[in-house]
Structure 1
Amino acid sequence: MSVVVELSDSSFQSDVVEASGPVLVCFRAEWSGVCRALDPILVEVAKDYAGRLTVGRMDIDREPETYPKYDVTAIPTLYVFKNGEIVATRIGPASKGNVVELVEPHV
């Protein structure tokens, strides 16, 4: 069973930028109800795409160095990284269908 990876400033380079496959990253904050509502969707997507997609989340309050480098100005921000580059973006609330539409072309 795949789980959502907790990303950190120190692990972002190896876990996301240098990853061998596509990575869905959710930049989020624990105090945001919209972000918390997205958590079970991320778990479902991680399970559905196990072995084809890594799903990670990064708390911008606990990990303040990485998100400004990627111009994250609102949460939640979902980025799909492939070969170290952002290939898809969604900002704001999302349903499972929205997330699947975001990642499907890149897996």
Structure 2
Amino acid sequence: MQEGNIVHLSDATYDQEVLQSATPILVDFYADWCGPCKMIGPVLEEIAADYRGRIKVGKMNVDQNRLVPTRLGVRSIPTLMLYKGGQVVDQMVGAFPKAQIVKFIERWLDPAVS
């Protein structure tokens, strides 16, 4: 399900939306009760808008979807995992400012075509 620029992921949609995505995707593993998760929510929405067409941003609630986070070893939230070609290429754990998240994803994106 898509809300704004964010794709809401579930255990059922993970393979199709993430592993089979031709576009790199940043996945935020979060919980509704998590303060730091709430802090980066608006930042991820901005990043999704700023990088539309270059990267997708997805969110997975770990309380409602336990299979994928358990399989991936997600133990702390928020955890951001960046996928490219269906593989996790990098991850960061914790709440970070926008500039740091942008730097994190820019390392893995192809240069923008102008």
TM-score range, shorter chain: over 0.9
**TM-score normalised per structure 1:** 0.96
Q: Map of 1:21-100 to 2, 5 A cutoff?
A: 21-100=23-102
Coordinate RMSD, CA, aligned: 0.9
Runs of 4+ in 1 over 2 A off after TM superposition: none
User: Which residue is 2:18 aligned to?
Assistant: 16
User: Which residue is 1:102 aligned to?
Assistant: 104
Larger Rg: 2
Any stretches of 5+ residues in structure 2 without a counterpart?
110-114
State the one-letter code of the partner of 2:96: A
State the one-letter code of the partner of 1:96: K
Shift of 1:67: 0.3
User: Of residues 3, 6, 14 in structure 1, which corresponds to 2:5?
Assistant: 3
State the one-letter code of the partner of 1:37: M
**CA offsets, 1:26-75, max 9 Å, x none?**
00000001001110000000001000000000000011111011110100
Aligned to 1:106, the other structure's residue is in SS state: coil
Number of residue pairs aligned between Structure 1 and Structure 2: 106
